[in-house]
Amino acid sequence: DPNPETPITPTSMNLTPAWAAETGKFLAGRDEPDPAKWKATLRCALNKSREFRLRYDGTRAVPPRPYKVYEVCGADGADMVTGDDFSCGGEEEEEEEDVNCEMDPVPPWPKEHPQFSSADATVPFMPPELPPELTAQLTPQLTPQLTPQLPPPGPPALLEHGVPNLLASPHLLPLTDLELRFHYRGRRVSALTVSHPLGCRLSHGGSLPPTLQRPDLLGHPELQQVPFPDPEGIPHDKQRRYTCTLLGAMERGLLLELGGQDLYATRLCRCKVFWDGPCAPPQDPHLDPRPNPMERERRVQVFSLQRFLDGLILFQKGQSPTPPPFEVFLCFGEEWPDHRPKEKKLITVQVVPVAARLLLELFSGELSWSADSVPLQISQPDLKDALVEQFKELHRLWQQQQHPEAGPRPPL
């Protein structure tokens, strides 16, 4: 494969100029030979062609390998779609604009990788040894697809009195549930609820399955694995191309981990991630918004249940003009917050702690009390004493709200 980091070999010296001449990009006697450019343009053509499919990208392997493997597809390219099938559809895009995709540089190749020399001109080309995972992919046998194992759901909770049960018994709340909403250029393309007590890992590609041997590389192996939706259904070529570029740098992914009743995020991927949420640094309302980047491999707290309950208590007492925020917004490859609206960003993920949403809907009267719509569960969270006291205070405030004629009640 024409990888720009790979040394120019005799084989590529025969292939790339022939392709450049055939496509009219090089004419002997007119143009200066530029092998690096020939390789780059051939690589772009392979990526765009529907007659070839990238089966293995060694540049993103661990450790990196300086080659890629392409497969010849059918004449109609019908088998080009990989990963989970998805079609986002939608109206015509208002505008197509260039996007500055932000990614960390690819790490250099290991020094022990053999270099080619002029002596290689007389040696027949031998393809590099393929990694075991790719060899398994290219064998004709059908391999079973592994699906993440989810913890068994707890027994359903009975709602005799609804709200009082929630506040007096916080273990009924789904304290570990996270709603994830994926958007490509403002259009929702997927939504799901993660109920794993440890959290999840967002990633793309699937070629780096977590293992017990490398938790430092991919996070805890028992995290629920959540793939990004397939971008092939994006109807606009430029948007799809940019989106694929960003997804190609997300194989190590981003971790969303639960610690107690708090949520933490860790960026492992090369694709830069910017975020906003209740734990983000405050913005000056009199100045332009400042992008908030997430440093690579640094654990960042993005949501605190205790802070949310503090804000909800103040709001119910009339000591805060607005309810506390609880949603976390992740933007991949583009700066955020900035002057451009969320709807213009290529890839965004909205993270909603379900318990916080339920509590806010509870006090606003918007919560539906059908057993199917409220995902209550019996769990045994290790609640800190401060959290227990906060729930007691919220219970008292709710009772006061429901029976204002009774007047304030003493704390429980």
For residues 241 and 376, membership in a common domain is answered with yes
For residues 128 and 187, membership in a common domain is answered with no
pLDDT digits (tens, 9 = 90+) for 201-216: 999 976 455 554 577 7
Domains in the chain: how many in total?
2
Two structure tokens written together for 302: 């993005």
For residues 238 and 331, membership in a common domain is answered with yes
For residues 191 and 312, membership in a common domain is answered with yes
Asked if the structure places residue 103 within a domain, the reply is no
For residues 69 and 3, membership in a common domain is answered with yes
Asked if the structure places residue 107 within a domain, the reply is no
For residues 131 and 242, membership in a common domain is answered with no
pLDDT digits (tens, 9 = 90+) for 226-236: 999 999 999 99
**187-194: strand order across its sheet:** 187-194, 178-184, 347-353, 328-332, 273-276, 293-294
Q: Which band of pLDDT confidence, cut at 50, 70 and 90, is reported for residue 42?
A: confident
Asked if the structure places residue 205 within a domain, the reply is yes
Residue 225 confidence (pLDDT) above 70: yes
Full residue range of the structural domain in which residue 71 is found: 1-86+124-136
- By DSSP bridging, strand 328-332 and strand 299-304 are unpaired
Q: Which band of pLDDT confidence, cut at 50, 70 and 90, is reported for residue 14?
A: low
What average pLDDT does the segment 141-158 reach? 40
Residue 139 confidence (pLDDT) above 80: no
pTM for the structure as a whole: 0.62
> Reduced to 3 states, what is the DSSP secondary structure of residue 13?
helix
Two structure tokens written together for 98: 């260039």
Asked if the structure places residue 110 within a domain, the reply is no
pLDDT digits (tens, 9 = 90+) for 160-208: 445 546 788 787 888 999 999 999 999 999 999 999 999 999 999 764 5
Asked if the structure places residue 297 within a domain, the reply is yes
Q: Which band of pLDDT confidence, cut at 50, 70 and 90, is reported for residue 149?
A: very low
Indicate which CATH number applies to the domain containing 50. Answer: 1.10.10
Higher pLDDT, 326 or 142: 326
For residues 337 and 396, membership in a common domain is answered with yes
